[in-house]
């Protein structure tokens, strides 16, 4: 057994919380982050004074972990602030697990908040600021509508190479909506048909507005502790069985094959560490910033062969009652997407494995796979969680 494999099941999520989903009028992102953090800490049966590890990052503030520590009144012995875009709060799992297992700290709070929908400084200003602070001189002059155009380029290539259809992409959005209809916290719950997705306004071919994730506010948090301690806390422990992050490129123009993401590396590594195969996975939470993401990740993670993602999701394959429950909260497409969505993947997986997911509960779910994506198909982070009976 490698040192990495020996971390399997050694830490557990003891608490989760969220705040400000949808539109957090009148609140700052720090305020809703702190509300989510307080809920996660309380859910874990702990107090903020017990938190001695902090993992967080922001898409605008480069030194974000310091104001968060200051605001929450923490003096963390472990800080993880790696910024990998939306996958960050999945990629924070492994370093946090190492810090807990080594004894560097005893309780890690992972947290994120954004008021991108209601803040005066909005998404368009953010895009403009990033083009100055983080220039991409070989892409920006061609005015890709980022991040949408990058994902559209991947979708177009997948359609060309494998015969994937817009209807199959639309299936992903329709399945997400059907799950959202079972989740009272989801932003969009009205019925959505394949035709609705196809007939929505085209943004960057072949993606319409309904192939794209929501733009919402929202904050999320979870608390990690060592497994032995988790068993003494109020909630059923959800064990971290495996976790890995992979980055192959940043820009879509530097991606070798637009139909294969670094999830093809992070997935097998995380599953290997967990000692489970995809056939053991009861529920999958896959970062669906755009409909093409879900197809790519189903293929790269090994749920189906390369090119067969479209067929996998067809006829409600990932909707309630389908072959694999995917994005059971409604996903970034229909539940919530505050700029970076990764933390909500973890929160939903934990709720499913605790059997606390209400009407959308996957019966008997014991193994959950979480997959975070960041940038423009750039960073890929996979985690495997097991329910209380898996350790």
Partner 1 sequence: MENESRDAGPQARYFAALARGRFEVQRCGDCDRHQFYPRTLCVHCGSQALQWAAPSGEGVVYSFSVVRRKPEAGGDYNVALVDLREGIRMMSRVEGVAPDDLHIGMPVRARVRDGEGGPLVVFDAQGVAA
Q: Which residues bind partner 1 (CB under 8 A)?
A: 137-145, 149, 152-154, 156-157, 160, 201-207, 251-254, 258
What's the distance, Cα to Cα, between the start and end of the chain in Å?
16
* Smallest separation (angstroms) from partner 1 to the CB of 151: 9
Q: Which residue has the tokens 């996660």?
A: 40
Convert 354-388 to b/e letters by CB count within 10 Å (16 or more is b): bbebeebbbeebbbbbbbbbbbbbbbbbbbbbbbb
Q: Coil, helix or strand for 18?
A: strand
Cβ nearer to partner 1, comparing 23 with 200: 200
Cβ nearer to partner 1, comparing 61 with 156: 156
Instruction: Characterize the bridge pairing of strands 283-286 and 367-374.
Output: parallel
* Smallest separation (angstroms) from partner 1 to the CB of 297: 19
Cβ nearer to partner 1, comparing 261 with 327: 261
The pair of three-digit structure tokens given for residue 225, joined into one six-digit string: 């502790």
The pair of three-digit structure tokens given for residue 44, joined into one six-digit string: 């874990």
The pair of three-digit structure tokens given for residue 39, joined into one six-digit string: 């809920």
* Smallest separation (angstroms) from partner 1 to the CB of 143: 7
* Smallest separation (angstroms) from partner 1 to the CB of 377: 12
Any idea how long the chain is?
Answer: 391
Nearest alpha-carbon partner for 256 in 130, 157, 133: 157
| CB-based contact 218:332 (threshold 8 Å) | no
Cβ nearer to partner 1, comparing 52 with 265: 265
* Smallest separation (angstroms) from partner 1 to the CB of 253: 4
Cβ nearer to partner 1, comparing 142 with 364: 142
- How many CB atoms lie under 10 A from the CB of residue 129? 12
Cβ nearer to partner 1, comparing 88 with 150: 150
DSSP letter at 203 equals E
* Smallest separation (angstroms) from partner 1 to the CB of 138: 4
| CB-based contact 365:352 (threshold 8 Å) | yes
């Amino acid at each position: 057994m490698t040192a990495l494999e020996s971390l399997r099941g050694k830490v557990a999520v003891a608490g989760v919380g969220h705040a400000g989903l949808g539109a957090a009028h009148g609140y700052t992102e720090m305020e809703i982050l702190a509300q989510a953090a307080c809920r996660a800490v309380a859910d874990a049966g702990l107090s903020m004074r017990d938190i001695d590890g902090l993992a967080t990052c922001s898409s605008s503030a480069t030194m974000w972990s310091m104001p968060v520590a200051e605001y929450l009144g923490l003096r963390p012995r472990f800080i993880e602030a790696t910024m990998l875009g939306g996958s960050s709060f999945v990629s924070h799992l492994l370093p946090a697990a190492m810090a807990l297992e080594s004894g560097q700290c005893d309780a890690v709070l992972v947290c994120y908040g954004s008021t991108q929908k209601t803040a005066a400084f909005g998404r368009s200003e953010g895009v403009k600021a990033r083009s100055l602070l983080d220039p991409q001189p070989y892409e920006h002059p061609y005015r890709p509508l980022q991040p949408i155009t990058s994902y559209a380029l991947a979708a177009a290539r997948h359609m060309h190479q494998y015969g994937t259809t817009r209807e199959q992409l639309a299936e992903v959005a329709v399945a997400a909506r059907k799950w959202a209809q079972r989740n009272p916290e989801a932003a969009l719950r009205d019925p959505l048909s394949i035709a609705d997705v196809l007939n929505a306004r085209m943004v960057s071919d072949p993606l319409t507005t309904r192939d794209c994730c929501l733009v919402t506010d929202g904050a999320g948090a979870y608390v990690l502790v060592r497994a032995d301690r988790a068993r003494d806390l109020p909630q059923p422990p959800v064990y971290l069985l495996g976790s890995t992050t992979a980055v192959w490129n940043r820009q879509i123009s530097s991606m070798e094959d637009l139909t294969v993401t670094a999830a093809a590396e992070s997935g097998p590594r995380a599953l290997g560490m967990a000692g489970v195969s995809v056939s053991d996975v009861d529920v999958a939470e896959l970062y669906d910033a755009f409909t093409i993401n879900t197809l790519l990740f189903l293929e790269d993670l090994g749920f189906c062969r390369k090119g067969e993602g479209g067929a996998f999701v067809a006829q409600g394959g990932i909707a309630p009652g389908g072959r694999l429950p995917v994005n059971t909260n409604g996903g970034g497409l229909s539940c919530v997407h505050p700029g970076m969505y990764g933390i909500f993947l973890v929160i939903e997986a934990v709720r499913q494995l605790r059997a606390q997911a209400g009407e959308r509960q996957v019966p008997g779910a014991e193994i959950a796979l979480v997959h975070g994506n960041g940038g423009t198909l750039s960073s890929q982070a996979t985690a495997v969680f097991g329910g209380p009976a898996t350790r």
